[in-house]
Amino acid sequence: MQNIIDLLQRKQLIWQGSEQKSSIQSQASCFSEWDQHLEGFPKTGLMEIQSEAGIGELRLMTPMLQTVAQNRTIVLINPPASPCAHYFEKEGIPTSNILVIQDTKHNLWAAEQCLKSGSCACVCLWHPQLEMHQARRLQVAAEKGRALNIHFNLDQHNGCSLPIPLSVNLEATENGVKVSVNKRRGGWHQQTFTVDLSQRWPQLCTEKPQHQVIPFPARKRQQA
């Protein structure tokens, strides 16, 4: 039994309970709620996001991408829609440092090559549920190239547990996104919190309707 446990630990398929969060290098997200609960994004390795497309999942990454894109490349592989160059320019992300790859057949291979190249700061990959060996290869490639791989899981109802530092689920709210932590290295319980995007993009958030109750007019009593 001990030999099996040692083998799983070497493959990083299980973690020891004594492992500390401080051993994970992180970078600020610039959203106070996210940084308070998750201490930012991992600097390297593989993280998973499960969400519907277009609810603010990429905007949640924007401040972090703005920081890392100044000197290294950002890669978007198989995004669900064509990225808007004007958006990135407006947010201070040089489009010259953004590479878009539309290849559904070889996207895992492309992600691995970009991650281990050393020239990419972040690789965003839209792909169905990863298998165990695929997640492991991307994790190793990201560590080798000192990059972050963000896997947007397209199988929202098929989330198997993978040996990755962070896995979250996003849901749209009136003023941002609700974050449910599925798995976190060094974390002992699931967390749920909301990230407010209205302070940065108020025009994209809905306001709560002000309901006004109008009393129904009373019926006049007929006199006999």
Q: What's the CA gap between 140 and 112, in Å, rounded? A: 9
**Residue pair 122/68 in contact by the 8 Å Cβ criterion:** yes
pLDDT on residue 18: 47
Q: Quick one: pLDDT at residue 20?
A: 46
pLDDT at 157: 65
Place of tokens 């051993």: 23
User: Residue 157: which residues within 8 A CB-CB, separation 6 or more?
Assistant: none
- Can you list the domains of the chain with their CATH numbers? 24-204 (3.40.50.300)
Nearest to 199 by CA among 65, 52, 26, 59: 59
Dist CA 117 CA 8 (whole Å) = 27
What is the pLDDT, as a whole number, of residue 103? Answer: 80
- In this prediction, residue 26 carries a pLDDT of 84
Q: Which amino acid is at 117?
A: S
Q: What is the mean pLDDT of each run of 10 residues along the chain (224 residues)?
A: 63 52 73 92 94 91 93 95 93 94 91 96 95 93 96 76 86 92 74 90 70 62 56
Instruction: Check residue 22 and give its pLDDT.
Output: 46
What is residue 21's predicted lDDT score, i.e. its pLDDT? 47
Positive or negative CA dihedral for 66, 116, 39, 133?
positive
